Amino acid sequence: MKSDIIAKIGQTDILLPSLIADGLRANNQVKARLSVLQAAARHARGPDGPRFDLAAECRAVDLDPVRMETLVNGATLVAGDRIAAPGLAATVAAIWSDVATMAHAVESGAPDQGRSARARLATLEPRASPEPADTLDLAQVAQLTRIGEGGGDSLHRLVMDLHKDLNRLAAAQAEEVVAGAHAYGLHAEDRRAVEAFMRGLESTARLKFDHPGLATTAMRSGSRLIIQNDIGETDAHVVVIGIDADAVTVTYTDVHLARTRFFVNLFRDFAVEWSGLDRKSAEGLGDDGVFYLVTGRHPAADLPARDRFLTALGAALVFLIDWNKARKVLRTFVPKSDAVTVLEWAAQHRVGHRAFLELGGSELVAAAVHHAAPSRIGFGDRLDDTLGRAGAVDFLKAVLRISAEALLRGGSVRLARDRIEAELVRHLQRVDGALLEIVIRQAGIARDIAAAVEQAIREPRTEPVRDRTALAVRARRMEEKADQIAVEARNEIERFDANRGIELLVDRMEDAIDELEQAAFIASLLPGDLAPELLAPLSALSAGAVSATEAAASGVAAAIDVSAGHQVDCEDSLAAVGRLIRVEHEADDAERAVTAIALRGAFDLRASLSALELARALERSTDRLASFGHLLRARVLVELAN
C-alpha cells in the first residue's frame, strides 16, 4: 500500500492493517538482529567456537544472511571488552528503527499505549556518541539483549510489550478476502459494496496483462466503509473511496494532470460533483514532489445506483495503468487531443492500451507503415498527414483493438501485425476513395455542361437567343466551380501524399471540362437556322459526350471498391472504360461527318464555321475522356495485382 500518499491526503484509517503488518515484520526482524548481536559477541570472545548458524532465521524474516554471517564471523575483541564487526553500526541502528516502527504501528491503533512505548523508547535509546563505527561494548550488547530484571526496563522488554499490543490490534483487525479484496473489520452490509467494486475491477483487470497493480483493501472506519486501490506502480497514484449511507466519495491522486482529467471524464455519465484539481506538494512523490488531487461526490439515490457507480469505478482503474506512456506513444502519430480521444475510446469499449504497449507500441505502428506504405508515410511523419485526422484516429483505435484481441485470445503476434498492416492499407484506400469521389464530382459537372450543349443543339430554332447566351454564362460558372474542385483535389493529394495516378485523373477530367465549356460557348452562338444535315452529327456528338461523362463517373465509382476485392466492381469499372473508348471512336466518326458536310455543302461561312468548331470541341472532350479511361483502367489493374 502507498502509505505516504494516503497519509498525505488524510485517509490514515485505511493504513492501520498495513501498519500492523509493518510492525509485526519489524518485530520479527529486531529479534533476529538481537540474536545476531549475541552470536557476534560469542564469536568475539571465542573465535574457535561454532560458526554462524542463523542463516535460516535471517532468511525467514527477509534479512540478508550473507551480511549477517559476515558480521558474526568477522567479530573480534578490541580494547578489552569492546567488539568490532563489519556492519555492526548499521545493525544496531536498524534495531532501534525496528522498535520505532513497532511503536508507530501501535500508536496508530492504540494511541495511549503507543505514546507510552515512544516515551520508553526515548529513555532507552542512547544518544549518538563519537565512538568509532562498527564497534560496541560487550556490556551494551548485554543491555540490548537482556529482558530486564527487578522491574527495570530494557529494549527487549519493550519489544515484547509492543509485540503483545500488535497481536491484540491484529486480532481486532482480522483479515478476510471479499471478492478478491483484502478486507478488515467489515460489517455485514459492507460486503455488497465491496463486491460491486470488485465486480467492476475483475471485469477489466485482465487488460493489464502482466503489469502489477490493482491491489484492493477495504475496511470499516466508524460509520464509513473505505475502499483503497493502489492502481499501478507510481508512488502518488492511488484512489480512496469512502462509502456513506447517502453518497460515495472518491479521492484520486496522480502525478499527471492530463491523466487526472482523463479519470474524471470517464464518469461523465454519472452525477458526480468534482472538486477543482488541487496541485499538491510532497517530497519524494511525483516529479519535483508535485501531484494532483481531485475529489468527487456521487449521491447514492439507492443501493443499485450506488453499486453501478462502484462497479464503474472498479472497471475504470485498469485504463489508468501506463496511460501516460501510451499517450506519449500515440502523440507521435496524432495531435495530443486525438491521442486522448483514442484512449477514451479504448476505455469505453473495454479494449485498453496495455496490449498495444505489450506488442511494441510505436514499433508496432512503424512496422505496419514500413511494410504497407513506405512510399507514402515517411519516418517521423504523423499519420493524420496521410490518413487525415479522422482516419488516423480510426486506424489507431483499430490498432489498440487488434492488439487486445490478440493477447486476450492467445493469438499469434505475427497475425496481429498482419491485421494491423491490412488495416493501414484499408485506411489508405479510404483516403484514395475520398479523393476519387472528388473526381466523380468533376464528372458530374462535366455531364451537366455536356447535357446543356446537347439540349442547345437539339432545339436551336425554338430556344430564344437570350437563353442560348445564358448557356455560355452557366457553363463558364460550372467550369470555374470545376477548377476550384480540381485545386481542392490537388491540395488533398499533396496533403495526403496520395497516389499520383489520382492527380492524373483530375487533370484529364479538368481538360475534358475545359473542352466542354468551349463547346457550350460555341453552341450559344449557333445560328437558329442551322441545316438539319449538320445538326444530326452534332447531336450525335453531344449525346456521345454526355454518355462519356456518365461512363467516367460510373467507372470511378466502381473503381473505389475494387480494392475491397469485389469482382463485380472491377468488371463494372472496366466496362465503363470500354464505353469511353467506344464513344471516342464514334465521336471521331461524327466529327469527320460534320467536317465533310460543312466543306461539301453550300452553307454560309457562319454556319459552317460554328458547326466545325463545335464538332471539334466535342470530339476533343471525348478524346480527353478516353485518355481518362486508359488511366482508370491502369489503376484498376494495379489494384487487382495487389
- CATH code, residues 430-641: 1.20.58.220
What span, in angstroms and rounded, lies between the C-alpha atoms of 204 and 211? 13
Euclidean distance between CA atoms 546 and 548, whole angstroms = 5
pLDDT tens column, 2-50: 666 666 656 666 667 778 778 878 988 998 898 899 889 989 988 888 7
Give dist(CA 510, CA 544) in Å, integer.
18
Q: Which residues of the chain have pLDDT under 70?
A: 1-15, 127-132, 147-151, 171-174, 235, 276-290, 373-380, 460-468, 495-499, 562-569, 640-642
**What are the backbone dihedrals phi and psi of residue 610, each rounded to the nearest 5 degrees, phi first?**
-65, -40
CA–CA dist 194, 217 (Å, integer): 9
H or E stretch covering 172: helix 155-172
- Residue corresponding to grid cell 479511361: 629
| Domain ranges in the chain with CATH number 3.30.1460 | 175-321
What pLDDT is recorded for position 235? 65
**Do 495 and 377 touch, CB atoms closer than 8 A?**
no
- Cβ-count burial of 489 within 10 angstroms (0-12 exposed, 13-18 middle, 19+ buried)? buried
State the Cα–Cα distance between residues 503 and 481, nearest whole angstrom: 17
The reply to whether the predicted model has a pTM over 0.75 is no
pLDDT at 288: 55
pLDDT at 12: 60
> In 10 A of CB 52, how many CB atoms?
20
Query: Three-state SS for 247?
Result: strand
Helix (H, G, I), strand (E, B) or coil at 419: helix
CA contacts within 13 A on the Cβ side of 344? 18
Which pLDDT tens digit goes with each residue over 463-501?
555 566 788 999 999 999 999 999 988 887 776 666 678
Round to whole Å and give the CA distance between 576 and 584: 12
Beta strands in 116-246, from DSSP E residues, in sequence order = 135-137, 175-178, 181-184, 216-221, 224-229, 238-243
Where in the chain is CATH 1.20.58.220? 430-641
Q: What is the second-level CATH architecture of the domain 175-321? A: 2-Layer Sandwich (3.30)
Q: Where are the alpha helices (DSSP H) in 46-87?
A: 55-60, 65-73
**For residues 100 and 121, what is the distance between their CA atoms, to the nearest angstrom?**
8
Whose cell is 441545316? That residue is 531
DSSP 8-state class, residue 525: T
